[in-house]
Chain A
Amino acid sequence: MLIKRWRLFAVGLLFLALFSSLTIRLWYVQIAAAEVNEERAKANRLREVQTEAPRGRILDAAGRVLAETRASRTLLVDRRVLSFEQEEELVQNLSVLLDEPQNVLRDKFLAAPSASRFVVAIDVDGDVATEVLEYSDEFPGVEVRLSPVRSYLDANGVSHVLGYLGKPSADDLESLSYLRPNDDFGRAGVEQRYDLLLRGRPGREIYQEDSAGRLAQLVAEEPPVGGWDAVLTIDMRLQETVEQALRDAIRTASGPEADPSGKAAAVVMDVNDGSVLSLVSLPNFDPSSFIGGIDTDTFRDLSEAGALFNNAIQGLYPPASTFKVVPYVVAAENLIWPEGVFTSETIIDLPARLTFGSELGAGSQQVFNDWTDDHGLTNLHSAIEKSADAYFWLLALEIWRSRAVVDPNIIQRTAEELGYGAATGIDLPAEAGGIVPDEEWITRSRPYVGGDLMNISIGQGDLVATPLQVANSYAALVNGGTVYRPRVVDRFVDQDGEVQFVNESDVVRELDVSPATLDMLTRDLKLVTSGGRGTARDQFADSPIRDLVGGKTGTAEIPPVGDPATTAWFIGVAPINDPQYVVTVMIDRGGSGSQTAAPAVRTILEYLLGGG
């Protein structure tokens, strides 16, 4: 039997007919109906979809990258194209694909606004992406894109400067009109302060919608413009040295007054322009843990440990003896001296204990015990060198006694000139201002008495300041009297390397203090580290930079009275003949300033001066 030719011919005709109908339909779709389609397309509404711009990097002063934006392969889900049933099916398919529990994914869907495009997974590997693209009918509305994702490079040490990113709350969305619900934005540090400059301009994609509100066609596209790179004044090598010095100080703190809480802060400033070369707060955190959303347990742990609190600019501590330079300046400038003293050279024999009757006013502290009983013969210079409380008490007493002719708030006014009691204006968010308790402040709650003034004169009482404020006041005192606004960002550079914005160093004010006084103070600070009775003499005795530095110790009592622990302070200044750096270290409950804080400052200064 052979096949009949007409039957083969008929099969051929069948396909001729079928293929002809395809061609006719193709003609209809591409030519005849084209005008109709165009009309229909015009009637559709347009919808704008924003595309995220890569966030600018954050570099240290030497150009080391601290934060960058890398391209992460991201799965995006467009809820606009999905029906409820499809979403349910998609959740199941994604659960298998991403190996994530369905309820976790479902939560992500529920958290996203109903008509939004949201990120369902970041850092997806190539195989998963290939599967999504290949079986796109099983993953409707899912797009794979390279999206910019923040990444921090070993940034724990500088975390309080950098800050971190997070999603905006409803309040944030209201106050920051440029934010959209799914945006990341800076929630702390430089990331927050300079969010607008770092984030760049999002791109736009304009789509036509079909009658059902689904994206049907891309009409226009405007690529995003990347954010600018921030160049910090911080030097990361120094920052690491400082962090290590603080950790060592906490670890080695000893003595009856030492009970370290783990909190500490350090600020290194360039005294000549207010640049912050290092700013460390402990405990710190890993900014990367916020990327892609931080889980509530981790966040709670960080909060409870105080790791999100920047002790350097938010921590309020009594500055204690580090504050004695303020009454020092008041005395030298206004020629107000303790009774029997006529110049800075006049020596008096200091008692270890001062006791008063009614002279200081009702309710005042009446008995003042110096921290040591062997100050003995002391003048203004050695009062700083030995940190003699009694000298400054007697000075305060004299101000109190002459309050009819002398401004009884003269110490506080001078402190305010130096930047105490108000935020320094550093370019970091949420800075605390501290308290300078003057007559007006104290009389809000109780009468202003002589004891208040005496306590303030040694940096105790209600006086509190941030480590940054202390650092900035010393910077002004040793640079010839200029108070700068501290800054951590030097400039912003665009993608082409062009400088777009310079964060100039601002002069807040010039102190009304004579150069002679400031020179004298600087010389006396040197006595603290190398004088015969300097409080930090032992700590610097064998340092190769001993003759190049000066400083001031502080050991603060922690209210309420009765807690034996003290907060350790040391301010270092170098080179002492022509000061360039001020190094401030504060160790919470670290014990004695000379024992705990001074060695840390020594380590940092030796690094800075190349002696380490």
Chain B
Amino acid sequence: MATMVRGRGVTATAYEESRPDLILIITLGLLSALGILMVYSASAPRLAAAGLSPTSEMLRQVLFVAIGAVAFWVFSSFESRTVHTATPLVYAAILFSLMLIPFFGVGEGSVRWFAIGSYQIQPSEWAKPGLIIALAAILGAGDEEGLGTKRILMATAAIVPPVYLIFRQPDLGTALILVFIFLAMLFAAGITWRQTAGFVLAGGLVGFVAYRIGMLSLGEYQLNRIRSVINPDQADALGDGWQRLQSEIAIGSGGFTGQGLFEGTQTNLRFVPVQSTDFIFSAVGEQLGFLGGALVIALYGVVIWRLLAAATASPDSFGSLVCVGTAAFIGIHVFVNIGMTIGLPIPVTGLPLPFMSLGGSSLVAMAMSIGLAHAIWLRRSRVPARVARVL
């Protein structure tokens, strides 16, 4: 079938007819716009109090959203085949940059960033879309019925080195996210019950050995984080537990309809640290209440729905798996981030809320990933549109 659309000119003309997923694009636009608004409401009072321009954080977010939009548009235009071909190169680049981090990276406590001017680039963010296509390429190849054990082993071999490097930064959160994405893609790719049992057994064994020889030891910083989750009220010395408690108080004060936009930031939010980044949802909860919070969750639900719809519409399993991986990528961020702000026991912090938290790397990485999924949606027809119409 693919041979039918090999000619470049033909491809372009034919696929132009495929309509972009307006529901997805509008939803992402709404989330991004709300994010900009929330970043402003959460940052302006503090910036003004500090004698800085109150719009400075918001304007940075506007810039990030603009870059994200461009990334989405560019990646939407990529041929699935081109992406597939580039996979080995992308994988190598990710592994390489993660290996460079211990030598050239910056960061206090945890070394995750490259500094470029006043901006910081976090390679583990780019690793997420990169590893999604790498896994999709491995798991989606082949014509055999079901997923071969060999493929599972290959995929595992591909995912373990970058995950381990990220774990060592240390960035437990991102490492766990990658494992989750991997598992979701394994499931979608068709792992059988038997293979699952074997995978869990082998994984557990390897993990146990690695732990015993000290490769998985957790730092005091990570242990604190876990302790604070177990008992936030007693987490006096642990800033993490306190942040979460404050966030929960802030959101609780929102009630059903919220305190109103730009209201309440002087009160509770002053006590929620990193409120424009990791705790942006506490601004939503406090100002817009349950209605606003539930709407945001529903909007993310729409995004997941559209990504899975793209997975269903994909003409090949590579494309489907890219879409599923992206859905898992976005979905788990939403769950972990919002869960953390409303007091669910989640031992991971530092994950942004997709498209809303202030931050460039993760927003652009997510836009790229969704762009790839959208590219697959755009090329969903197995028959070129014009041909289909003629038929």
Question: Which residues in A have some Cβ–Cβ distance to B below 8 Å?
Answer: 1-5, 7-12, 14-16, 18-19, 21-23, 25-27, 29-31, 33-34, 37, 71, 73, 81, 83-86, 93, 96, 126, 129-130, 133-138, 140, 143-146, 210-212, 214-218, 221
Contact = CB atoms under 8 A, between A and B. Distances in A.
Contact of A11 (B188, B293, B344): B188
B237 A15 contact: no
Given A73-B50, A216-B246, A22 B255 contact: no
Nearest to B270: A218
A1 B252 contact: no
Nearest to B258: A30
A216 B253 CA distance: 12
B152 to A, nearest CB: 14
Interface of B: 43, 46-47, 49-52, 56, 108-109, 140, 142-147, 184, 187-190, 233, 236-237, 239, 242-243, 245-246, 248-249, 251-256, 266-268, 270-271, 273-274, 277, 285, 289-290, 293-294, 297-298, 300-301, 304-305, 308, 311-312, 314, 316-317, 320-321, 324, 327-328, 331, 334-335, 338-339, 342-344
Contacts of B321: 3
B252 A15 contact: no
Given A11-B328, A26-B293, A30-B289, A2 B317 contact: yes
A129 B184 contact: no
Given A8-B324, A11-B187, A218-B267, A37 B305 contact: no
Contacts, number: 173
Q: Which 7 A-B pairs have the closest CB atoms?
A: A83-B237, A144-B50, A3-B320, A136-B273, A146-B51, A30-B290, A15-B331
B294 A26 contact: yes
B280 to A, nearest CB: 13
20 contacts: A3-B188, A3-B311, A3-B320, A5-B312, A18-B331, A19-B335, A25-B342, A26-B293, A29-B343, A30-B255, A30-B293, A31-B290, A83-B237, A133-B52, A135-B108, A136-B273, A146-B50, A210-B245, A216-B249, A216-B271
A587 to B, nearest CB: 47
B237 A31 contact: no
B308 A12 contact: yes
Contacts of B146: 1
B308 A3 contact: no
Contacts of A211: 233
A564 to B, nearest CB: 60
Contacts of B294: 23, 26-27
Given A3-B320, A86-B239, A217 B255 contact: no
Contact of A3 (B189, B255, B274): B189
B289 A7 contact: no
B190 A1 contact: yes
Nearest to B311: A8
Contact of A137 (B50, B274, B285, B290): B274
A216 B236 CA distance: 13
A96 B343 contact: no
B237 A138 contact: no
B202 to A, nearest CB: 22
Interface of A is mostly: helix
B46 A144 contact: yes
Contacts of A218: 266-267, 270
Contacts of A11: 184, 187-188, 308, 324, 327-328
B331 to A, nearest CB: 5
A217 B268 contact: yes
Residue among A4, A26, A144, A145 with the most chain B CB within 10 A?
A26
A130 B255 contact: no
A12 to B, nearest CB: 5
A29 B248 contact: yes
Nearest to A10: B187
A175 B180 CA distance: 66
Contacts of B316: 2
B236 A22 contact: no
B188 A22 contact: no
B56 to A, nearest CB: 7
Given A73-B51, A217-B249, A22 B297 contact: yes
B297 A26 contact: yes
A17 to B, nearest CB: 10
A375 to B, nearest CB: 71
Nearest to B328: A11
Given A3-B320, A7-B188, A34-B252, A12 B233 contact: no
B239 A140 contact: yes
A96 B335 contact: no
A9 B47 CA distance: 45
Contacts of A12: 304-305, 308
Contact of A96 (B50, B108, B255, B300): B108
Contact of A130 (B52, B273, B335): B52
A217 B271 contact: yes
A18 to B, nearest CB: 5
Contacts of A23: 293-294, 297
Given A11-B324, A19-B304, 15 more contacts: A1-B140, A1-B143, A2-B316, A7-B188, A7-B190, A21-B344, A26-B293, A73-B51, A86-B239, A135-B274, A137-B239, A137-B243, A145-B50, A215-B271, A221-B266
